Amino acid sequence: MTDLSMALMELLRKYQTDKDEDVLRDGVTLLAHQLMEIEVNEKAGAEKYERSPERAAYRNGYRERDWDMRVGTIPLRIPRLRTGTYFPSLIEPRRRAEHAIVSVIQEAYVHGVSTRKVDDLVRALGMEGISKSEMSRLCSELDVGMKQFRDRRLEGEYSYVWLDGKGVKVRQDRHVENYVAIVAVGVTQSGQREILGFDVGPAESHDFWLGFLRGLAKRGLRGTRLVISDAHEGLKQAIAEVLAGATWQRCRVHFMRNLLALVPKKAQTVTAAWVRTIFAQPDQVSARDQLDRVARALEAKLPRVSQLLRDAEDDVLAHMAFPASHWRQLHSTNTLERVNREIERRTGVVGIFPNAQAALRLIGAVLEEQHEEWTEVRRYFSIESMALLYRKAEPLDGSLTLVAGEEVFVV
């Protein structure tokens, strides 16, 4: 008799003894755990404790997760692997965002979006006969879950924070207006990425960013050493007010676009090559020296470019004061590019949102999925490289000094 058969017989005996026992829920739980064990054995190439030349990975305990089903909420113990990742195929990791799209369709009906466009959306999603009560339930569930994720407490320190915005179209007072969805991503002390927060508003203004960053600080954002963003004046000012003491890194990708916009088209390739020699230097001192040489070389023919380089020196080279193994990820907001592409892909299905809440609901669902995915994959920065950021030394006066690259923080 197999282990599964024995477990089912034990479950049946419990039910015969106690009719109040939820045999269906317990049975689904038992079957789910058996399926996960089979899957993870196949991925590892061997069963638990088995010696096998085909073994490709080893177990690394379990992680807890609730699984909402029609029979109720089932507490799952999902196996972990030391190398690689495992996610149960019986769970649908992308279902939440599709529900969010469905809720947007319902709100589109209510707020007067053309029937033809909504019908096209329904057919594109392969849906028919969705009742208003079902849609109302979906919207309510998504809003509750989104708010819990958005307002959750931020624990620990977030050494690096990336900030960026993405345009979305929202129908407001019978007019279509350009809104902005802003997102904050942080890295924990262990090198793991997290979605810290998000919001949707009418403009990427100082007040909007200020309120957003204050909300992050109120929820527990602390220990930030470097903030990476575009050179939006309102955002820069908000960072200086809320995250005082953090260094600001100007996104190098956006900076190069702004710089090359000042260069005649025929000279852009050569100019870009010169400027990139600055960022190819092995340390910040050498990069500053090279920036000075490039700025002097461009001063005669491209004075505005030369001045822009000098004005932006501290901002575009700020990342070089941190561990060199982190530079590639710190010099720009490219960390958020995949997130923004996914937001754009999902919001593109809708086109124009019936209101800001509908946009927030869908974007929140996308970001929560991304957050969960990041918890399943390897760290963004290794623990060893993060240790370089948090090297400790005990000075004679008894205070604690934290060394981050070339910067020293005394606590």
Residue 341 pLDDT exceeds 50: yes
3 state SS for the chain: CCHHHHHHHHHHHHHHHCCCCCHHHHHHHHHHHHHHHHHHHHHHCCCCCCCCCCCCCCEEEEEEEEEEECCEEEEEEEEEECCCCCCCCCCCCCHHHHHHHHHHHHHHHHCCCCHHHHHHHHHHCCCCCCCHHHHHHHHHHHHHHHHHHHCCCCCCCEEEEEEEEEEEEEEECCEEEEEEEEEEEEEECCCCEEEEEEEEECCCCHHHHHHHHHHHHHCCCCCCCEEEECCCHHHHHHHHHHCCCCEEEECHHHHHHHHHCCCCHHHHHHHHHHHHHHHCCCCHHHHHHHHHHHHHHHCCCCHHHHHHHHHCHHHHCHHHHCCHHHHHHHCCCHHHHHHHHHHHHHHHHHCEECCHHHHHHHHHHHHHHHHHHHHHCCCCCCHHHHHHHCEEECCCCCCCEEEECCEEEEC
Does 324 lie in the same domain as 401? Answer: no
Does 324 lie in the same domain as 196? Answer: yes
Report pLDDT for 228: 97
Confidence of residue 26 (pLDDT cuts 50, 70, 90): confident
Report pLDDT for 400: 39
Mean pLDDT of the region 368-393: 82
Does 391 lie in the same domain as 309? Answer: no
Report pLDDT for 70: 54
Q: Please give the residue that has the higher pLDDT: either 254 or 395.
A: 254
Query: Ranked by mean pLDDT, which of 38-47, 97-106, 293-302 comes out on top?
Result: 293-302
In the numeric block, the tokens 């932006």 are attached to 312
- Please report whether residue 37 resides in a domain: yes
Does 297 lie in the same domain as 405? Answer: no
Residue 175 pLDDT exceeds 50: yes
Does 302 lie in the same domain as 211? Answer: yes
* Domain-terminating residue out of 39, 58, 81: 81
Find out whether 299 and 306 touch, Cβ atoms under 8 Å: yes
Angle at 98 (CA atoms; ends 92, 101), nearest 5 degrees = 170
Residue 243 pLDDT exceeds 60: yes
- Please report whether residue 294 resides in a domain: yes
- Please report whether residue 322 resides in a domain: yes
CA distance linking residue 188 with residue 193, whole number of Å: 7
Confidence of residue 411 (pLDDT cuts 50, 70, 90): very low
Report pLDDT for 398: 41
- Please report whether residue 31 resides in a domain: yes
Residue 392 pLDDT exceeds 60: no
Mean pLDDT of the region 79-87: 78
* Domain-terminating residue out of 22, 55, 81: 81
CA distance linking residue 321 with residue 363, whole number of Å: 34
Report pLDDT for 294: 95
Does 326 lie in the same domain as 196? Answer: yes
Q: pLDDT tens-digit profile of 291-340? A: 999 999 999 999 999 999 999 999 999 999 999 999 999 999 998 988 88
The tally of domains found in the chain comes to: 3
**What separation in angstroms does the CA of 300 have from each of 266, 271, 294, 295, 310?**
17, 13, 11, 9, 14
For all residues of the chain together, what is the average pLDDT?
82
Domain that holds residue 245: 190-337
Confidence of residue 103 (pLDDT cuts 50, 70, 90): low
Confidence of residue 109 (pLDDT cuts 50, 70, 90): very low
Handedness of CA 229, 231, 232, 237 (dihedral sign): positive
Does 402 lie in the same domain as 317? Answer: no
Does 309 lie in the same domain as 209? Answer: yes
Residue 277 pLDDT exceeds 90: yes
- Please report whether residue 102 resides in a domain: no
Residue 5 pLDDT exceeds 80: no
Report pLDDT for 375: 83
Report pLDDT for 163: 96
Does 315 lie in the same domain as 256? Answer: yes
Q: pLDDT tens-digit profile of 184-224? A: 999 999 899 999 999 999 888 999 999 999 999 999 999 99
Does 216 lie in the same domain as 332? Answer: yes
* Domain-terminating residue out of 58, 81, 104: 81
Residue 120 pLDDT exceeds 50: yes
- Please report whether residue 382 resides in a domain: no
The least confident of 79-83, 146-150, 362-366 is 79-83
Does 321 lie in the same domain as 397? Answer: no
- Please report whether residue 343 resides in a domain: no
- Please report whether residue 26 resides in a domain: yes
Find out whether 27 and 8 touch, Cβ atoms under 8 Å: yes
Residue 268 pLDDT exceeds 60: yes
Residue 180 pLDDT exceeds 90: yes
Does 399 lie in the same domain as 321? Answer: no
